[in-house]
A and B are shown apart, each in its own frame.
Chain A
Amino acid sequence: MVIELSVFMENRPGKLEAITRILAESGINIRGISVASEGEFGVIKIIVSEPDRAYGVLRENHFTVSKRKMVMVEIKDKPGGLHDLLVLLSMNRINIEDCYGIALEEGKKAAIILEVGQFPRTEKILRGEGYTVLSDQEPG
């Protein structure tokens, strides 16, 4: 399980930079990022090295931010790796609300961030099939 921070944001130039700058200045590493946008506003989703501290730093800077639990799973490095994973989940009738990929270890490995309804079960199924399920604590 990893903590995803989602930040409400008006779509204006420089807004995303404001977040990345604050986190960089606080020595927090951004491991993954995804943007959902509606035109005038959007939600920035980020996976960071120290989610609790990052949450505090963003709140202090008056960002509207919330924490969410996500599943982070390493994708097997072979053709169809992602496909196999998605098939496994749909076979087990696990619905994916949201997902995006992030790179691990300077691009040698990749992981996928999944928002699912039943995540303890999801993690168990994935582990059972030999997937590496990552958490905030493990080095990415």
Chain B
Amino acid sequence: MYWEKDLETLDRKELERRQLEQINWTIRQARNSSFYSGLKINRIDSLEAIQDLPLTTKEDLRNQFPYGFLAVDRERVIRLHSSSGTTGKPTVVFHTREDIDRWQNLIARSMYAVGVRKNDVFQNIMGYGLFTGGIGFHYGAELLGVMTIPIGPGNSKRQIWFLKHLRTSVVHILPSYALRLYTFFDELNIDPKKDLNLKIALIGAEPHSNEIRKKIEELYGIKAYNSYGLSEMCGPGVAFECTQQAGLHVWEDHFYPEIIDPDSMQVLPEGEEGELVLTTLSREAMPIIRYRTRDLTSLIPGNCPCGRTHRRISRIKGRNDDMLIINGVNIFPIQIERTVMAIPEIGNNYLIEIRKKDYMDKLLLKVEVNEQVFQGTLSELEKLQRKIIVELREELDLTPEVKLVESASLPVSDGKAKRVYDFR
């Protein structure tokens, strides 16, 4: 059940003692970098005092490109990863051999926690390359000792061929791609529930609602577990769901989590929603202190029945910068997803478009019709359209326009799904 029982179930007092020690180690280590060299605080005496340390932002990482955060000799670095910089400079993250070892260990710990074992067959359908998702899981899975198929994303028919003929039991996949992949089974005459040996999907790298998870579980007849990470911390393996599926355990022996109010920057108590701030506790090449992830979540109070003492965060609600303001109403795309994915007549994909018309914001939602439940009448479609509008109005407090589209007609990428198009 545990990959490292001692560490995963460590007494909270002892865990916190070690965290404090590691934060002070991180401060010392970080001072070796040019960005943190001027840090005014040498050490802190309690975990609460971490609030006295300054926050670090994505902007800082970008401005310090390429070596401003590097805290070891360049020769000790064995790997660089980079986050998708769509505009301007990318952000780069460096790893020593020991950083890589720790990272793959956290992936192995996460996979083991949800039941992945040596005798499984693991198909890694996540992008390899600069992106951390594919490579991170690849090495973690190998450390665990599971047969790993480094297939990467895309080429859906080949994915299904491997799933079937190699009796794949575990996949690591983007939730949006899991839904997209499902649309190919029909034409290949393969029933994912009967003809495959699939048991577990590890899903992550894009915020998704619990409804999307349930949909994936139902379509494939499997369990899907939420993975959380970000390249600035290492990549996936920062936090992971256990089999309770009630929040993601932050691996607190390697990362120290805080939740702050994104406006006042004040630390919020457990249970309150705000921006996740993370401090690395063991990174050598690139320690980062109080990094603003921009991801909105909360720390879940109380113990998890699984016995792990590491605190849990709730499902990521979205990013600060994902929030849409429509005619003055604040809306997170995930609220829309949650609503539409709970309606069975809706297929696997949707898209949100926002436009300005006569000085008003108009929200247009395009949803695919679920071919499995389509009865063949016009009246059911009209009814469905009205139902979506009513349910969204209740959730969002505004009336969207809803357009029904054919299944598999909305654009999908093999990478992270782009579902919001703001034309204002």
Interface residues of A (CB under 8 A from B): 4-6, 8-10, 36-38, 40-43, 45, 59-60, 62-68
Contact = CB atoms under 8 A, between A and B. Distances in A.
B130 interface: no
A8 B406 contact: yes
Contacts of A9: 406
Interface residues of B, number: 20
Interface of B: 183, 186-187, 347, 369, 371, 374-378, 381-382, 403-409
Given A63-B406, A65-B371, A8 B183 contact: no
B365 to A, nearest CB: 13
A114 B208 CA distance: 45
B376 A66 contact: yes
Contacts of B374: 8, 64-66
B382 A6 contact: no
Contacts of A62: 183, 406-409
Given A8-B369, A59-B187, A66 B375 contact: yes
The winner among B183, B376, B405, B408 for most chain A CB atoms within 10 A is B376
Which secondary structure characterizes the binding site on chain B?
Answer: loop
Nearest to B366: A10
A38 B403 CA distance: 12
A45 B369 CA distance: 17
B188 to A, nearest CB: 9
Contacts of B376: 4-6, 43, 45, 65-68
15 contacts: A8-B371, A8-B381, A8-B406, A9-B406, A10-B404, A10-B405, A10-B409, A37-B378, A43-B378, A43-B381, A45-B376, A59-B186, A62-B183, A64-B374, A67-B376
A106 B80 CA distance: 71
Going nearest first, the 4 A-B pairs with the smallest beta carbon separation are A6-B376, A66-B376, A64-B371, A60-B187
A41 B183 contact: no
Contacts of B409: 10, 62
B364 to A, nearest CB: 11
A4 B407 CA distance: 20
Given A10-B406, A62-B407, A65-B374, A38 B382 contact: yes
Contacts of B369: 8, 64
A38 B378 CA distance: 8
A71 to B, nearest CB: 16
The winner among B347, B374, B375, B408 for most chain A CB atoms within 10 A is B374
Nearest to A63: B406
Contact of A6 (B347, B377, B403): B377
Nearest to B407: A64
Given A10-B404, A64-B347, A64-B406, 17 more contacts: A8-B369, A8-B381, A10-B409, A36-B378, A37-B378, A38-B378, A41-B404, A43-B376, A59-B186, A59-B187, A62-B183, A62-B409, A64-B371, A64-B374, A65-B376, A66-B375, A67-B376
A94 to B, nearest CB: 19
B102 to A, nearest CB: 45
B287 to A, nearest CB: 49
Contacts of B382: 38
A25 B371 CA distance: 23
Given A62-B408, A64-B371, A40 B186 contact: no
A40 B377 CA distance: 15
B377 A59 contact: no
A46 to B, nearest CB: 11
Nearest to A5: B376
Nearest to B187: A60
Contacts of A42: 378
Contacts of B183: 62
Contacts of B406: 8-10, 62-64
A10 B377 CA distance: 14
